[in-house]
Structure formats: structure tokens, C-alpha cells
Chain A
Amino acid sequence: MVAVNHINLEIEKGEMLTLLGPSGCGKTTTLRCIAGLEKPDGGDILIDGRPMFSKGFVPPSQREIGMVFQNYAVWPHLRVFDNVAYGLKLQKLPKSVIREKVTEALESVGLTGLGRRYPGQLSGGQQQRVALARALVRNPKVLLLDEPLSNLDAKLREKMRFEIKSLVRRMHMTAVYVTHDQAEAMVISDRIAVMETGNIVQVGVPEEIYKKPANRFVADFIGTTNFIPGEIMEVPKDRDMVHVKTEFGQKMLCKVFDSATVAADQKVHVSIRPEDIEVFTKPPEGRHNLFKGIIQYRAYLGNFLYFFVNVDSTMIRVQVAYDVRQKEGEEIFLFLDPEKCIGLS
């Protein structure tokens, strides 16, 4: 079993990078290797230019890092103040300096005045903040966050995303954030590294990951998408558009990011996001990628409508921003804008 396989990743100073992937993809293992809590079989790990692992091994206690654990790992036998002051005391800083730094850190996470409490007297969200303050107080070279919000309830989670992001920005901290929640990753990251079964499959800013997914896995994992299976019919020269014969027998046009890597007869999946599909009650003239379907299911989600449309037995999800009168069982026309259809192998 290989948990993590040949990862090559460079994180910029002051950048917040997220390792994103489903459970078991190796994101936490990667983070723990950076922390020194796990030893890789080979390779190099450098922090701030200093080698942490190649031939030698720097133990976690010498790496000058800060880490927020999934279950907070706030020490229950120490008061909030002592939890945060722990690392500073080990550095043998003068008492007054420690007091000042801890007070500042507690203030920055919104826990002013709670220093004398024990963790058992705090809510989950507050314990989370203690963990954050503890990780930040020594001004570490890297801040590592291992699914720090996964134990909080939905409302608080959303709030904490922005708080963590603004806090890390304000302190110009370099941070690596691990999550399986793609929405969280989109909000919090400067860049996202998507991982699948031990490999990094794509690294990029959130918009790039969403709009130009590198493969089917990324397109599927980030947001919602439709896959239309088919076969490439022809690859026109000097264009990044290809003709695809779909499984339900119709032709369609779609984009490929690198036309040199595709060839005729190759199997592809055309990906298009529900919000990129336009609907018509009467077919407009002279358009490619226009398909007729039957509305199988219609759902009202407040700010938009959601249709499941049956196009020759292929189910396509469509998100419509305005009111469409058509009911379940009625006909509808879908326009899949070729610019937004992406052919993925």
C-alpha cells in the first residue's frame, strides 16, 4: 500500500495552499510528513530553504512549525493560557514576553479573558480557537491545518473559514491546509492541490481548478458536473475544438485544452456544469450542441431551479436561474455551449 506517491510541491512564502481530496487520498499523510510526524520512504522536504528530510531527519520539535489538529488536540489538563504558552515556555522566553504574546494571540482569535479556563469548560468552537492561537503564537515558519473545521457544525464552519483566512493573511503566514470539503478549499485557498490515491493531479488557483479541470476526477470532485460519454470523430487542425459522437448517437462540439494529445476514435467524457446549460422551450435556429429532452424531475431550491433532463436515456442536470414553466414530463431543449463543454479523457 502506498499512501503517498511521488509528490512534488512548492509552496510560496505567505501563501495558503490547500491539499484537497477524498478521504484516503494521502493528503493528511503528506501534511504529517511536512510536520515530521511521519517519515517518508524517500525524497526531500525543505522548510524555508532548510532541509528537514532527505538523508537526515529533523524531529517535529525542531521544525518551527505550528499545527492545528482535526480534533483540536488541546491539552485538557492545562488552562487555555498554558496551552497557548506551552511552546513559548519551552523556548525559555521571559515571563513578561510570554504573557504579552499569549494575550495577543488569544485576542486575535477572539478569546480575550478566557485564559484561566480549562478546555473542558469551552465549546468546540472555542477549543478550535485555542488550537489556532497555540499554533500561531510562536510565529511559525509554516502553519499546518489538518481538517481543522470538520468537527464544527455547518454555520460555525462557514464563519471560521473566513476568520482563519483573514487571520493567516494578516500575519503573512505560509500555510498548508488539508480538507476534503471542496467548498471550504475554494474559499480559503490561494492555490489548491487536488490529490487522488496518493498523487497530486492538479495544482492551481481555485478558478483554474474549477474552470479547467485536468481530468475527470478533478471535474467530478470540484463542484457538480455532467459527463456525457462519447468518442472523438475528428480533430480539426489549429483549433482546440473537437467533434464528438455521443453515446446517444448525436454529434456535439467540445473544447480540449491540448489538441495535440487527442486523436480520432479516442473515448472521451464531455463535462459540462449544470449552471452552464441554457434551456429553451422552442429550439433556437442554427446552433450546435442543441439537444431535446424530457424533464424527469424538477426541484425548486429557492434561488434557482434544478432539472433532471432525460436526453435519450442520459440524465443531464441543469441549473436554471429564472422561472421556467415547464413541468415534469414535458419537453425542453438544452443548449450546451461548446465553449463550456470540456472533453476529458
Chain B
Amino acid sequence: MSRGNLLISAILWFVVALFVIYPLSFLIIESFKIAGTDRYGLQNYIDFFKDPYYLKTFANTLLLGVLVLATTTMVGLPLAYILARYRLKGKVIFTALILLPIVLPAYAGAFALIVFFGKMGTVNLLLMDWGLISKPINFVFGLHGLVFIQSLHLLPFIVLSLSAGFTNIDPSLEEAAEVEGAGGFKRFLTVTLPLTSPNYLAGAVIVFLWPFTDWLTPLIFGQIDFLPSISYINIAYHFTDMHRKYMGIVSVVVSSVICVGIFLASKTWVERKKYTALSKGTTLEGRIIEPGLLTKASSYAYMFFIAILVLLIPVVLGLSAFSRRWVLQPFPSYWTLDNFRLILLETPALLKNSFLFSGVALIFGVAFGLPAAYLITRTKVPGKDTLDFVITLMLAFPGIAVGVSYLLAFWEGIPLATHWIIMPLSLFVRRLPYFLRMAHASYLQLDVSLEEASEVSGASKMKTFFNISLPLLLKGVFVGLVMFFIMAFQEISTAIFLYRGGWETLPIGIYLNWHRGMEFGIAGAMAFLMVVIIFILLLIVARIGGGILGAAWGSSGGRY
């Protein structure tokens, strides 16, 4: 054990202790505080679980999770099978399109949906113009709208994890079933599907837990009776009513416990059931089928349908971005660049802040992630598995938990919250595992003997890292960088608690514009701008990462 490794370990632990464990402990301690006194007790939790309103909210959140999971599974299963197994032209483009929602913020999609499907939205207006209906149909406001938009946003997780499962199955396992007499659907049910279950579960957990972390989308649809939304409202608006504030904090803790609990349970189950490790000599490509004419046609139709739904979001955002006063008309009639003038010239701070905060967060991420990946994959420092575990847990923590605990922890004592550095810091902590995972995966693919050869040739560990490891890791690391940046760029659930005047980012700008009841146009233009920026970043990743892209997402959904 070298001293250097111990030093790295100590520094990383210090960072984790200060920026993860310390603030989260505040959250937990605060949740036991009894309103109006200095005492601590279980009273808040008892109140929470006795209050029919919070119980109903809790049940609503669970129900939303179940519905979203059911929808994404039903829609995603055939899609994943098509993408993984059929030889079809243009599959790459469809895959890219269908995966797009993963990087589009859910709230941006929600805006688009309201503009298009809302009570006075395009579809209703057209239907009324044509005389098909007399009163507008409520397409989106309510549970069904939430299920729709969250399903659309989360579909890629299910599709990615399932198609990774379908691809990874050793073809001979299915051939053996065929030889044994199981044709077609029977084979799918008895062999293919069960073998995919670990992959499916990894994606399903992310989908199921989403409603426990997304507070903004329900609010946009006029729904507050969900745990994260009510937490947000209680904490952000009720600093005077201490009881409601504590109820909010308890909601956050309850959500966090559920998220971490389910996450850990599924992780153990997946680890126990790792099927792929069993068979030797598998083929790389998996099983690809030449589809029949009918299968081909319906596959294309299905992919087109999903792609159109997905594309609806940027198209509608674009329409509203380049127009004004798009009200009570199916399509905008007054075209202008005014929205962009407002954003770029009058409030350029939003864009500047977004880039600055995400950029600084990225530097933190690299400075932490690379040594951490090295430590976890290449050394035997005691406690490195615990470190890996703690960092990985951050994947499950709701963003709102990070935001609230930072607010609680960094006012007095360590008054970081008075400086803008708190913004990138919280972004960095929130996405802690992303970069680490990517660097970790690249490290695992890098043969140790390449590094050993360098050391044998006389290079120090440090020299080896910079001369050999880093250049070889670069591709994976770069993809990790951009993905991290994208995630930080669209982050709102943490930032909303911490921003002060002058620190607004683009997502916060979107939220404020919607919240203050201003025109959708500006919010739409901001969202459109964000989608464009993210899309450009994504193209860069795809260009460099190629196959890694899917693999990386697959593993962020697939492995943990």
C-alpha cells in the first residue's frame, strides 16, 4: 500500500464527508426537530403518518410510480425488442431519436405538452374548429397527463436496459430452447424474458423512483399532491409555519429512504442474478433476426409513432420560441425573434450562469471522479468499497434532498451558501456518481498489463497515469464529461433551493417565467435554447463516443 494512495483516499473521504455526509445529516436531524421548541423527537414522523393528507400524497406518489412503470414497460418492451433484434435500416437514427428524452428536461416536455394538448392547445382548438367537439377535452391536466409526460421522459431507461438485456443473451440459450421444441412466443416467455429480468429491473427502479424526485412536472400540471411537490411547497413557501416546513422535510426524508431502500434492494437482487457472467464464448452482436415483411412494416410504424411523440417536444418549443401571443390559436401567427433578444441581450446572466456553474461543477467532477475511479479499480486501499458505495448511493438520492440539506447545512457554521460557489458545488454533489461510473467503466476496460508494462519500463505511478492511462481513458472520460455537463446544465431540483438574485440559471429562468405567469413564449424560448444546446453537446458525444453512448447510458441505468 503506497502512501500516495492513502493520501488520495483521505482527500476523497474528506470531500465526501464535508459535502455529502455533513449536509445530509442536517436534513435528518432537522426532521426530528419539534416545531416551536428546542427538543427533538419522533413527533414529526408520527404527525406525517397520521395525517390523511400526507398519507394520500404518499399513496398518490406510489400510484404514479406504478402507472409510469406500467406504461413505459408496455410501450418499451416491443420497442426494445425491435431495436435489439431486428435488422432494420435507419435503426441508429431511430435509436438516437427515441433516446432523446433522456437528456431533455422533463419540465421542458411538460411545457410543450400543455401548449399542444392543453385545454386551449393546438389539438383542442383544431378539433373544435373542425366541429368534432364542442368543449375542450382535458388531455393533460391531472394524473393521466403526468403519467404521459413522465412515461415519455423515462421510456429510454426501459428501452435501453431491456435492449441491452436482449442483446446480451447468449444466442445459444434461445437456440437450445428452439431445439427443445419451444417456438416463437413460447421461447420468448420461458427463456428470453426471464433472462432479461436483471437488466429490466435496473431500468425499472429508475423509472419507478422518478415520481419521488420530480417535483416540478406535477406543479406544471397543476398537481401538488405528490411527495416531492408538497415538500417543495412546504419548504420553499412556509418558513413561517414551522410545522409545515418540518412536514416538508419529513417528506423529503421519507422519499429518500424509499428511494435508497428500493435502489439497494434491486441492486442486491441484480447482483445475485447476474446471468450473463455464466456462459462462456458468447458472440458479440447477439441474435439479429431478418424480419418478415409484415413485422418490418409494423416495426417501422411503431418506431415512427414513438419518434413523432418525442419530436413533438422540440418542435412545439421551437414554435413558441419564435412567436409571441400564441394564445387561442392552433398555430402561432406572429413570428418574432423577440424572445431570444430578451434572453440573450437583456438577461444574458442566465446563460452565463448556466455555463459557469455547470463548467465549475464539471471541474469538481473530474478532480474528484478520476482519482476516485483510480482508487476503486486499481488499488486495495481499505474503505474504498465503502467509498464506492456511498458515492453510488447518490444516484438514488432525490435532488430535492440535496438542495434542502445544503440549505440547512451551509448557512451557519460553514456559510458557503452565501457565495455562488454553492451552486456548482451542489450540482457536482448531485451528479457525483455519473462521472465516476463512466471513468470506472473505462478503467475496467483498460488492461492492467498496459500500465504494468509502463511501470516495468521505469515510469512512476504518476508518470504512468499521465502517459498511458489518461490517453487511453480519454474517450470514455470525455463522454462522461459531456454527459455530466448535460445533466448539470438541466438541473433544477437542487438549484431552486439555493439560488439567490443574480445566480439564476436557464432552468430556473424557465421555471420563474412559467411561475410568474408571463408568456409561455419566453419560457418556451429558454427551453428551446436549452434543448438546442443539449442536442449539440449530444451530437459531440455521439460523434466521439459512438457505441459508448448507448453503453454508458445503459450502464448508468443497467448496472446500478
Contacts and interface: CB of A to CB of B under 8 A. Distances in A.
Interface of A: 35-37, 59-63, 65-67, 69-77, 86-87, 90-91, 119-120, 131, 134-135, 138, 144, 151
A71 B178 contact: no
B271 to A, nearest CB: 12
A86 B182 contact: yes
Contacts of B172: 69-71, 73
Contacts of B275: 76-77
A135 B179 CA distance: 9
Interface residues of B, number: 26
B183 interface: yes
A63 B180 CA distance: 9
A125 to B, nearest CB: 13
Nearest to B180: A87
Contacts of B178: 36-37, 59-61
B173 A90 contact: no
Contacts of A74: 176
Nearest to A120: B278
B186 A76 contact: no
Interface string B434-471: 00000000000000000000000000000000000000
Contacts of A37: 175, 178-179
B177 interface: yes
A54 to B, nearest CB: 20
Interface string B185-203: 0110011001101000000
A119 B182 CA distance: 20
B190 A86 contact: yes
Nearest to A119: B278
B369 to A, nearest CB: 33
Contacts of B273: 77
B89 interface: no
B281 A151 contact: yes
A76 B173 CA distance: 9
Contacts of A90: 180-182, 186
Contact of A75 (B176, B179, B183): B176
B283 to A, nearest CB: 10
A77 B181 contact: no
A138 B282 CA distance: 27
A60 B180 CA distance: 8
Given A151-B280, A151-B281, A73 B182 contact: no
A36 B194 CA distance: 24
B279 interface: yes
A60 B279 CA distance: 22
A73 B278 contact: no
A148 to B, nearest CB: 12
Nearest to A146: B172
Contact of B191 (A36, A63, A71, A75): A75
Contacts, number: 82
B280 A71 contact: yes
A199 B244 CA distance: 82
A132 to B, nearest CB: 12
A3 to B, nearest CB: 16
B170 interface: yes
A63 to B, nearest CB: 8
Contact of A71 (B170, B177, B195): B170
Contact of B279 (A65, A73, A77): A73
Nearest to B175: A37
A258 to B, nearest CB: 42
Contacts of B279: 71-73, 76
A88 to B, nearest CB: 9
B183 A67 contact: no
Interface string B261-298: 00000000000010100111110000000000000000
Nearest to A65: B179
Given A71-B281, A73-B279, A77-B194, 8 more contacts: A37-B179, A61-B181, A61-B187, A73-B175, A74-B176, A77-B273, A120-B278, A151-B280
Contacts of B176: 67, 69, 73-75, 131, 134
B172 to A, nearest CB: 4
Contacts of B181: 61-62, 87, 90-91, 138
A136 to B, nearest CB: 12
Contact of A134 (B180, B197, B278): B180
Interface centre among A65, A76, A138 (most CB of B within 10 A): A76
A67 B179 contact: yes
A66 B178 CA distance: 10
Contact of A73 (B170, B187, B194): B170
A91 B190 CA distance: 15
A269 to B, nearest CB: 36
A37 B177 CA distance: 11
B285 to A, nearest CB: 15
B282 to A, nearest CB: 7
Contacts of B186: 90
Nearest to B190: A86
13 contacts: A37-B178, A62-B181, A67-B175, A71-B170, A71-B279, A74-B176, A75-B177, A76-B278, A77-B195, A87-B182, A90-B180, A131-B176, A138-B180
Given A70-B172, A90-B186, A151-B280, A76 B195 contact: yes
Nearest to A70: B281
- The 6 residue pairs across chains A and B that have the minimum distance between CB atoms: A87-B180, A73-B172, A61-B183, A73-B176, A76-B275, A60-B178
A90 B190 CA distance: 11
Interface centre among A61, A65, A131 (most CB of B within 10 A): A61
Given A71-B170, A73-B173, A90-B186, A35 B179 contact: yes
A28 to B, nearest CB: 11
Contacts of A87: 180-182
Contacts of A36: 178
Contacts of B183: 59, 61-62
A75 to B, nearest CB: 6
Contacts of A144: 179
A66 B311 CA distance: 49
Contacts of A71: 170, 172, 279-282
Contacts of A77: 194-195, 197, 273, 275
Interface centre among B175, B186, B191, B195 (most CB of A within 10 A): B175
A123 to B, nearest CB: 12
Contacts of B278: 76, 119-120
